[in-house]
Structure 1
Amino acid sequence: MARIYTHTLLTLCLSLFCLLVQGHMIDVPASKKECFFEDLHVNDKMTVTYQVGGGGHLDIDFWLTGPNGLAMGKHIKQSTGSISITAEQDGRHEFCFSNQMSTVVDKIVSFNVHGVIYVDDDDTVAPIEREIRSLATGLTAVKDEQEYIVVRERTHRNTAESTNARVKWWSVFQGVVLLAVVGWQVYYLKSFFEVKRAF
């Protein structure tokens, strides 16, 4: 019976963890902002991690506010970041990504929202439940790291392709300039050695 209870508890906790981790990728247009909301209760925890994957200087403004409208965390022109909060009151918490500093370039942002529902950690909590919480935290860290690596790989690939295109067109330009210089030199030397006849 205890084994069935433990298995059920494990399945329930893992299912809850899967529901509390959300990954997103959004486009933030130039001069715009994108905002999202989470309803939290007192002592609930929430962590938002983000990474700018494309556009401009790979930076964005980010802030997180509580139900009272006061900022609980803010980043200005960052390419990656993380803000963790513990809700001090019940209500809707808002977090926004702003690209208002850019008037031309759109930004691509990948972000994750991790939530932990507050449970009073008294002596009645089973050791297996503590281990499950620890495992959930570790899984969250691994998932964040994997997504960070994917975004960085995409960014480096875009940079390499852009550099390759620039090198190619610079080589074509150099070839055209070289041919033009050679043609001009041949023409100039030919005209220099021409014998002018007097009539």
Structure 2
Amino acid sequence: MNLYLIFSILSSIFFTQICGLSMMLPPNVKKCLKEEIHKDVLVTGDYKLSDAPGHKTLLHVGDSKGHTLYSKEDAQEGKFAFTTDDYDMFEVCFETKVSAGLRGTQREVSLDLKHGIEAKSYEDLAKAEKLKPMEVELRRLEDLSESIVNDFAYLRKREEEMRDTNESTNTRVLYFSIFSMVCLLSLATWQVFYLRRYFKSKKLIE
């Protein structure tokens, strides 16, 4: 089994997915696409909007902290790219506005998002570093291996966090159960003494 075949098999299993979509954007409506991305991951996007006279579409790419990663006032066709600083949720939003007095129609939006290995241009890298085809494939496999290791490290970290959360929750539930039983026993004891005093005051018991 040659190196290229091995690479193809690994690619089909482990490669980060490419998100390509097409949607219709009505006038004066905002639509967003959200996705979670790991730390230090390259994200690229190609977008294209159909012609619509009088329409002006705002493209905004941001994260959950309110940072603007890319913005275009009158988006028609283009590309954007950024690298994530931390594990976060980012969103790509399109908002179309129509000039007053014009009858708005829906505008078709095509968006192709890539992240991780798929976002890298190995052709440009080969030209810049004058790499041979085999060297390019080795570089791609090296990046793929690093991506897999990072994914497993992230999953292990999440598993540890979930385990710590479960242990903490179990401890709190245990303490709450003990506290509840103490409260119930105290209430039951108080009721017994109260009823005893009450019956004695009524001379129902000695």
TM-score tier after normalising by the smaller chain length: 0.5 to 0.7
Flag the 1:68–1:107 CA change in 2: closer, same or farther, 3 A. same
1:108 aligns with 2:108: yes
Q: 2:41 aligns with which of 44, 65, 70?
A: 44
Q: How does 1:149-160 map to 2 (within 5 A)?
A: none
Give me the whole-angstrom Cα distance separating, in 1, the residues matched to 2:31 and 2:23: 9
Give me the whole-angstrom Cα distance separating, in 2, the residues matched to 1:129 and 1:20: 21
Partner of 2:11: 13
1:27 aligns with 2:24: yes
Is residue 39–residue 92 contact of structure 1 (8 Å, CA) maintained in 2? yes
Is residue 58–residue 72 contact of structure 2 (8 Å, CA) maintained in 1? yes
Which residues of structure 2 form unaligned runs of 5+?
Answer: 119-133, 144-206
Partner of 1:152: none
1:2-29 deviation digits (Å, cap 9, x = unpaired): x367633332125544x52222111111
- TM-score, normalization by structure 1: 0.53
Is residue 45–residue 116 contact of structure 1 (8 Å, CA) maintained in 2? yes
Which residues of structure 1 form unaligned runs of 5+?
Answer: 119-125, 135-199
Give 1:102 deviation, angstroms. Answer: 5.1
Q: Secondary structure in 1 aligned to 2:110?
A: strand
Flag the 1:39–1:5 CA change in 2: closer, same or farther, 3 A. same
Is residue 55–residue 99 contact of structure 2 (8 Å, CA) maintained in 1? no
Is residue 27–residue 107 contact of structure 1 (8 Å, CA) maintained in 2? yes
Q: 2:138 aligns with which of 122, 129, 142?
A: 129
1:74 aligns with 2:71: yes
Q: 1:87 aligns with which of 84, 87, 104?
A: 84
Give me the whole-angstrom Cα distance separating, in 2, the residues matched to 1:131 and 1:89: 23
Partner letter of residue 111 of structure 1?
A: L
Flag the 1:57–1:14 CA change in 2: closer, same or farther, 3 A. farther
Q: 1:53 aligns with which of 50, 53, 57?
A: 50
Give 1:83 deviation, angstroms. Answer: 1.0
Aligned pair count reads 124
Partner letter of residue 77 of structure 1?
A: D
Is residue 49–residue 82 contact of structure 1 (8 Å, CA) maintained in 2? yes
Partner letter of residue 63 of structure 1?
A: H
Flag the 1:133–1:99 CA change in 2: closer, same or farther, 3 A. farther
Over the residues paired in the alignment, what is the CA RMSD in angstroms? 3.0
- TM-score, normalization by structure 2: 0.51
